[in-house]
Structure 1
Amino acid sequence: MNKHRYTAAAVMLSLSMLTGVAAADYSDLKPHWAEQAMEFAVQSNLMDGISEYTFAADAPATRACLVQALYRMEHAPAADTVLTFQDVAEDASFLTAVRWGVSNGIITGYSDTVFRPGTSLTREQFAVMLYRFAEYKKLDVTAQNALSGYTDASSIHPYAQTAMQWANAVGLITGTTATTLSPQRTVSRAQLATILQRFAPMVSYQQRETDAPKPPQTHSYTAFTTKLGDVTRSETEQDLTEVHRATRRYTDGQGCAVEMGHSAAVLDAPAHTAAQFEMKGMSGTVRWYDTAASSWKQQPLAAGTLPSGMYFLRVDGVDSILVTPMTYAARDNGMIEYFPGKNGSLKIERTASGFRFSVQVAALTQGTYSDYLLLTSQQTLIDWSDQSMLSRWANYSLIGTNRWCYNGYYYTAPSTYYPFDENYFYSLPAAHIAGKMANDTDQPASRAIGLAMIDLMREQQNEYGFIPSQAGSTWLKTDYGIEPGYYDTRFNTDFWLANINAAENFGVTGWLDKTRKYADFLVSFAGQHHFTFGAGDDEGWLVQDYWHPNGESSPTHASLNHHAAEAEFLYRMADAVNEDSYAVLADRMVRGIEQSELLWYKPDGDLNYSCKPDGTCSGQDYPYLTYNDLLELQRLYAARHGQENPAIARLLQVKLTWMNKNGVTGYNK
């Protein structure tokens, strides 16, 4: 394939034909797994919204939309081919694009008189148009994947076979799972934007040698206020020849600064330094947690290079924490693929006054990006003699199953999620470590990192009030018809509980506005998606666990751990904003547990995992999660009502007996 030298800024500028609409004008771009790609498509004028303020990310992409995007990518050349299509109006905004596409063999009509501009695109049709455009641009299209690893490759129509093989080989269209390509699946507008973003560098004009990189652009503002003062958030972006760099920095009044760095390769890029910082002092130590040995390691600071890891640096009593750059690529449904062989490193140098640390990004291939996390301070952050702190920070690892990237929190993907492959991670609304850090009132590092993470994750709240789970779940799809972008009650409730904890522990009361929005959504959701036990004053509800706003899914089960956590959140929310209506629903949910109590007991002495709308309960419960949830729910119930709930007490005793019998540890006392 032809490779041209260009900057991401040059791509933006060369594609841009100002329309007066900016990405920020569309209210539905954020939060979304493809928001960066959609912003690129809008800012580059490759795509428009469907109305003045609506982009419609999840709506199907149409034939007219794609041909217009490719036409604009070609800088909208003149085209006066006479069309005979009766369904393309003379005043249609895409008229000239269709003329250009037809005259250059990019797209054809269904007949001499029918074009069908509003017909949605399938993945194989998309590949064909991209392939034809690549040929038109005289790009190298010889790269071919056999597609033999995909079980549905035989369903690709013959006319699209070569195009799909090429699109897959160059990474434009990947599998929807490790073994399926889904050639007839409809392409959404978000997916169209994502693939256009991947495709644009392949067809970009050559960068002129006289073009200088644009200077960094920085925007700063007060992100939130704690009881210790304001926290400032600064955003900096810069386009260099091979990479687009972005840095986000949270700075508080206690000398802590949390920096999130992002280097995205718009062209194959050499290894480079993403950030540098210095610590003054004559001696220091570096610590890290060795997961293989389940123990902490430390060594004196010395000049040299440390491999990828999460490092705790101390020089003369001042601490910094660094998660070195790790490299990923965006995949469908908000998934990212991790490349272990492309990890960054930490370079250490001695200076006259102390140590200089350089955050090193490995060489990147086009389309990949590398992210790091850095906390610098002017104080001692962690008491290494405190065993509870050691345990917590061993658990707070961000280089294993948990990852923090520039756009949010990720967790290693289970095989039941799609698309799935080795080293895939999915966007996790719960942001587990951030939630745990929100309770660490004795650790400045937890306060700084945890609050920064929560602030960014809050931006993913959608118009309904919840943070959608973007990855597909095969069992939710099979059992209930739930597509990607669904509501997971547990993940969301855990995250918004963390917001309440941040408000109470750190004084971030401004976060209760969006937390209330979620609470109001949960109240509405519970009213529409529950099944009832009992009647009259004794009526209780069990609230279903999952839902998709497209309205096409079936009612789901209610698991005891989800249900207890939701009631816990509602009691906490009632106290946080002094609004008893939330507690009224929590009481009704507790009555649901009371009325269904006998259904939860299993013959082996454990509890069932979930109950279905027909009243049947089954499934293997978690070892201790449900116990911890019920224990906290009991505490909150007793605080509000002056006495414990007998049904919850019995469920707790049964679960505790089972845990002790089976040697389960780790539960709350």
Structure 2
Amino acid sequence: MRKKQLIFGVAFILSICILLQHLSKEAHSTEIPLIQSTHSIFDFGTIVEQKYEFPNNDLYWLKKIEAQKNSAPYVFHLRVPGKNGVFRYNEYQDNQLEKSNWKIINLNDVTYLPLSTGFIETDNKNIWISMPSVYANLGKGTIEEKFDLQKKIQVMEDEEGYVLEITLPVYQGLISEIWALESNDTLVRWDYGRMSDIWLALDLNRRGKWSYDGYYVKSPSSYLPYNTNSFWRIPENYILKSFIYTGESRIAEDMGYVMLGTALQSQEKEGYWKTLPMSTWLQKDYGIEDGYFDTRFNVGQADLFLEGCKTYKEEKFCNATQQFAHYFRNHAEKHHFDVKGSNVGWLVEDYAHPKGNHPTHVSLNHQLAEINYLYKMYRYFNDNDYKVLAEKLLYGVENIGGRWITPSGDLHYAYFPDGSFGRTDYPYLTYNDLLETQKLHREIYGTENVTLNQLIQSKKIWIQSNDIKNPFGN
């Protein structure tokens, strides 16, 4: 249940990603951006700068200061050409992270921008820019944001448009950082479909953070290290999921590439992405220490690399998903429960630690996500080994059959090492996974799977009887 609390924190973002998958796609550019990265040593510490210069003339940049001693702030200026400038950002209602509205302010009417990630738009320039962040590195993939030390961006006018004065504080042991994506063209078509609502959910402000080394979300209290202002680097990037499955904005095309490239840096040589913090309940229940393998997060991230492989035709993205698939095959062979039937099936354990652990449970949603990923790998790479493994995992689900269904018609969340079932399933996440598995089954075999249909119908009736709104729309 404690793992599920974390997932509920990002469930709305995930549902938006599902909606985005059903929007029509535009063609992505397959040209490779020019990437530059520099580390400059100063008396006070190190300045790290990163740039992606795209063939469409867009520019992504990031500046990060790693301070070794206190010093005067680092100040630089960003020119924004054009007139009639506005800043569009999330304004939270009563400090509630789940409730926000767009607020648009005129750059001619303000001296400083609010402390928020947002969009600067003039008649000549569009910029998605983060607020200047200050944080402490707590270790184990966790940062603590220092909200009280952050400095607002000053806005000044000149004959060409606007000049932004950006101040990054320099405090010993802390990191200051800011990033932006600049374009001469429209970054987001706010009047198209549900883009305005979607971007309210894709928040990189208070619920999530984009940083030099990846995507961070608010830390659950069951993770260590933890405090009220801590964020942890999650293996599966839900913002990237929305970008990679749609081409309906310049940001999707540009930042999809940036985020995939960044995620490559944290992929282990074995092929997976670690969950770096300590999960107190996994440690207690299964003896799992920090730096473990989570099948759902990893399959989700590997699926994004598969999509990136298709979209950008980038060899390093293709290699990343294949490398993970090899790792997962080994994990499945070593960490599964045999389920007997006409064809012996496997239920693959949700977690593993490189130093070993007790056998863990198998969540139905994890198992389905693994099947879906393997089927998609089979279809793209035409490697029958992926299909054979997917079938073995599907046999595991089939051989359990109706035992997945609870007396209320809902589904059991998990199968446990002792052969029992339990825990409350998600309202709609597993249902959506089932729909995707059935869809892939129809496309590959030409028929529907009887067991999957049984589980889908039972869950659907349960959802309807409990008046649960499913963002997938089924």
Higher relative contact order (CA 8 A, sep 6+): 2
2:355 aligned with 1:521 = no
Matches within 5 A, 1:194-593: 227-273=29-75, 275-292=76-93, 294-302=100-108, 304-316=111-123, 318-361=125-168, 363-535=169-341, 537-551=342-356, 553-593=357-397
Q: Which residue of 1 aligns with 2:446?
A: 642
**Residues in 2 aligned to 1:660 and 1:385: alpha-carbon distance in whole angstroms:** 32
Contact residue 29 and residue 253 of structure 2 kept, 8 A: no
Q: Distance in 2 between matches of 1:309 and 1:602?
A: 45
Match of 1:622 among 409, 420, 426: 426
Counterpart of 1:538, as a letter, is N
Specify the code of the residue in structure 1 equivalent to 2:366: H
1:632 and 2:428 matched: no
Q: Percent identity?
A: 30
1:610-640 alpha-carbon deviations (Å, 9 max, x no partner): 1012221100111211111111111111111
Give the deviation of 1:359 after TM superposition.
Answer: 2.6
Deviates more, 1:442-451 or 1:658-667: 658-667
Q: Classify 1:323/1:538 alpha carbon distance in 2 versus 1 (closer, same or farther; 3 Å).
A: same
Q: Deviations over 1:197-229 (max 9, x none)?
A: xxxxxxxxxxxxxxxxxxxxxxxxxxxxx7441
Tell me by how many angstroms 1:395 deviates. Answer: 1.6
AA in 1 matched with 2:42 = L
- Deviation of 1:509 (Å): 4.7
* Kept after mapping to 1: 8 A contact 2:63/2:177: yes
CA distance in 2, matches of 1:467, 1:473: 15
- Structure 1 letter corresponding to 2:354: P
Shift, 1:392, TM fit: 2.1
CA distance in 1: counterparts of 2:102 and 2:196, whole angstroms: 8
Query: Aligned partners of 2:255 and 2:30: how far apart in 1?
Result: 15
- When residues 276 and 584 of structure 1 are mapped into structure 2, their CA distance, relative to the original with a 3 A threshold, is farther
Q: Distance in 1 between matches of 2:112 and 2:350?
A: 47
Whole-angstrom distance in 1 between the partners of 2:404 and 2:354: 29
Contact conserved, 1:324 with 1:359, CA < 8 A, in 2? no
Distance 1:634 1:653 in 2: 12
Aligned residue for 1:345, secondary structure, equals coil
Shift of 1:472: 0.3
Report SS of the residue matched to 2:204. coil
Give the conservation status (yes or no) of the 8 Å contact 1:318–1:381. no
SS of corresponding position for 1:370? strand
CA distance in 2, matches of 1:665, 1:522: 33
1:317, distance to aligned residue in structure 2 (A): 5.1
Looking at structure 2, the residues matched to 360 and 606 of structure 1 have their Cα atoms a distance apart, in angstroms, of 53
C-alpha distance 597-358 of structure 1, shift in aligned 2 (>3 A): farther
Question: Which structure has the highest strand share of the two?
Answer: 2
How many Å separate the matches in 1 of 2:309 and 2:260?
Answer: 12
Q: Is contact 2:74-2:170 (8 Å) kept?
A: no
1:651 paired residue number: 455
2:410–2:459: 8 Å Cα contact kept in structure 1?
yes
Note if contact 1:531-1:541 (Cα within 8 Å) is conserved in structure 2.
Answer: yes
Q: Distance in 2 between matches of 1:240 and 1:509?
A: 36
Distance in 1 between the 2:287 and 2:33 partners? 43
Distance 1:651 1:623 in 2: 14
2:292 and 2:351 in contact (8 A); partners too? yes
Between Structure 1 and Structure 2, how many residues are aligned?
440
Please report the TM-score for the alignment, with normalisation by the length of structure 1: 0.64
Residues 313 and 399 (structure 1), Cα distance of their counterparts in 2 relative to 1, 3 Å cut: same
CA distance in 2, matches of 1:300, 1:307: 12
Asked if the contact 1:307–1:344 (Cα under 8 Å) also holds between the matched residues in 2, the reply is no
| RMSD after superposition | 1.7
Q: SS of the residue aligned with 1:247?
A: strand
CA deviations on 1:105-139 (whole Å, 9 max, x unpaired) are xxxxxxxxxxxxxxxxxxxxxxxxxxxxxxxxxxx
Displacement of 1:473 in angstroms is: 0.5
Once residues 584 and 595 of structure 1 are traced to their aligned partners in structure 2, the CA distance between those partners, rounded to angstroms, is: 16
Q: Is the 8 A contact 2:349 2:359 kept in 1?
A: yes
CA distance in 2, matches of 1:639, 1:531: 28
TM-score (norm 2): 0.89
1:244-293 Cα deviation digits (max 9, x unpaired): 211111111112111122112211233332x4322222222211122325
CA distance in 1, matches of 2:237, 2:292: 17
Shift of 1:482: 0.6
Structure 1 residues 270 and 621, CA, compared in 2 at 3 Å: closer, same or farther? Answer: farther
Alignment partners' CA distance in 1, 2:117 and 2:173: 25
Describe the SS at the equivalent of 1:305. coil
* DSSP 3-state at the match of 2:112: strand
Distance in 2 between residues matched to 1:300 and 1:483, nearest whole Å? 50
Aligned to 1:122: none
In structure 2, relative to structure 1, the CA distance for the partners of 1:344 and 1:606 (3 Å cut) is farther
